[in-house]
Amino acid sequence: MPSPIITVENLGKRYLISHQRKKGDGLRHTIEEAVRNPLSFLRQIGGRRNLENDVVWALKAVSFTVTEGEIVGIIGRNGAGKSTLLKVLSRITRPTEGRVRLRGRVASLLEVGTGFHQELTGRENIFLNGAILGMTRAEIRRKFDEIVAFSEVEKFLDTPVKRYSSGMYVRLAFAVAAHLEPEILIVDEVLAVGDAAFQKKCLGKMRDVATGGRTVLFVSHNMQAVSVLCSRALLIEGGTVAHDGGIQDTIDLYMAPEKGSAVGAADPEKRLGSGDYRYTAAQPEKDCFEGSEEKSVAFELRRRKQRVGKMWLSAHVVDADGLVLAQCDSRLIGTMADDCERLTGRFRFSTPWLKPGRYRMDLVICANGILVDLWEGACSIIISPVLPYPYSLSEDGTKLGRVFSDFRWDLETQDDNGGVAVARTLESR
């Protein structure tokens, strides 16, 4: 069994936020401060500042281990403490409490371009930045041609980088960092820059690094990239590890705080329809669904007035722009509901494959050609940002259209004599 290469025990990082006015502030600043926040000003004058409110714990009681060769994603919302954690692991920031043990050479890619000198040429900056990131001169020389080829700036290699476009600058910076050979590689949101083609190329390089036996910690808000590159993920919330487990489970929990079971909990008395029956509850059966899996919503309806005979039920899947993507009507499949005091059930659908995001569910009851109930926004469902296609690394192949499709390509290659050389089928699943 692989031994731990990273061990974090009860890690904490505390910052003190100072509100003290700088020396040299004039009378005008003092008066403005007193007018804008008189209580704070009086506390400062009296020397009775509440120091407890000035303490911010960016990390608190963080513990986990990473074994050699693991690729671990770290996800969480802005301000959760992800970047602080990586800075502590990279020895850029000292922890306030706890301990970190690292076995092996560590390379950090926290901010692309750190260490570049504007007046130096691209060639000179490759050697400078490589040395800052921990590469020896011999390593840089050995990998120089690979770095230049990856960056695609060979034509401008002897031009000062201050004349580079932002895209060229980022390409060169990532190319240097991506060719490090440490035992532990720490990467923070570097794939959020550049165009789609560049991001795809960077993801491919990161995949090569991740499958080369090195240990990788990868922070990103791109859930697709995390799901493709990582075998495990940590969810950071409020400076603590809220979950440590499989990729899909962790992403589901990350998305869960956005869930809403009743995005439009309209008053039953104000809904459209006769009101003889009303939906009384609607709840998705999961916090977050994958795009290609079956989605299900549990519901309840009750009789409020007179009987209406056979009823058919309908569910409308509505996107964020108000477009109805699907109308799923029970009469189309021969399913009708009988008169009763109370009815519970589940509505299920698997196609179309929905793109990542939130979708509104409208529920309808009809009988004898008359609208009985229309509950707009009965609930909402959330679709995971992980795409259903196994080879999707950029948005080039998925940015068009409202929904995804389950599809296949049948290919048949013929040789010069007309004979079939290769026949194969490529499927989306």
- pLDDT tens digits, 41-73: 566 655 544 444 567 889 999 999 999 888 899
Which domain-ending residue is among 216, 236, 257? 257
Query: In this structure, is residue 36 part of a structural domain?
Result: no
pLDDT at residue 335 in the model: 87
Radius of gyration of the chain (CA): 29
Do 388 and 329 belong together in one domain?
yes
Helix or strand (DSSP H, E) at 205: helix 196-210
CATH number of the domain that residue 135 is part of:
3.40.50.300
Q: What is the pLDDT along the chain (429 residues), one digit of tens a residue?
A: 667 899 999 999 998 765 554 444 555 666 666 666 666 656 665 554 444 456 788 999 999 999 988 889 999 887 889 989 998 998 888 999 999 999 887 877 776 666 688 899 999 999 998 888 778 899 999 999 999 998 888 889 999 988 887 778 878 887 887 787 778 888 887 655 556 667 677 777 777 776 777 888 988 877 777 887 888 999 999 899 999 999 888 887 887 644 444 444 457 877 888 889 999 999 999 888 988 899 999 999 999 988 988 999 999 998 887 788 999 999 889 889 998 999 999 999 998 899 988 899 999 999 988 899 999 889 999 898 888 887 776 666 787 888 888 888 888 887 777 665 555 555 555
Do 224 and 108 belong together in one domain?
yes
The per-residue pLDDT for range 299-309, each reduced to its tens digit, is 999 999 889 88
The per-residue pLDDT for range 124-160, each reduced to its tens digit, is 999 998 888 778 899 999 999 999 998 888 889 999 9
- Domain hosting residue 271, numbered range: 260-429
Do 271 and 317 belong together in one domain?
yes
HSE, side-chain direction, 13 A CA sphere, residue 44: 13
Identify the sign of the CA torsion 352, 222, 217, 82: negative
Helix (H, G, I), strand (E, B) or coil at 278: strand
Query: In this structure, is residue 23 part of a structural domain?
Result: no
Do 407 and 297 belong together in one domain?
yes
Query: In this structure, is residue 264 part of a structural domain?
Result: yes
Which domain-ending residue is among 211, 240, 257? 257
Do 249 and 277 belong together in one domain?
no
Q: What percent of the chain has pLDDT over 90?
A: 29
Query: In this structure, is residue 5 part of a structural domain?
Result: no
Q: How many domains does the chain have?
A: 2
Helix (H, G, I), strand (E, B) or coil at 342: strand
Which CA distances in Å does 110 have to 11, 89, 178?
20, 11, 12
Between CA 325 and CA 334, with CA 329 as vertex, the angle to 5 degrees is 145
pLDDT at residue 77 in the model: 82
CA dihedral 136, 137, 143, 147 (to 10 degrees): 100
Structure tokens of 349?
Answer: 């659908």
β-pair type (403-404, 353-354): antiparallel
pLDDT at residue 346 in the model: 93
Helix (H, G, I), strand (E, B) or coil at 413: strand
pLDDT at residue 259 in the model: 42
* Amino acid type, 151: S
Helix or strand (DSSP H, E) at 88: helix 82-89
Do 400 and 298 belong together in one domain?
yes
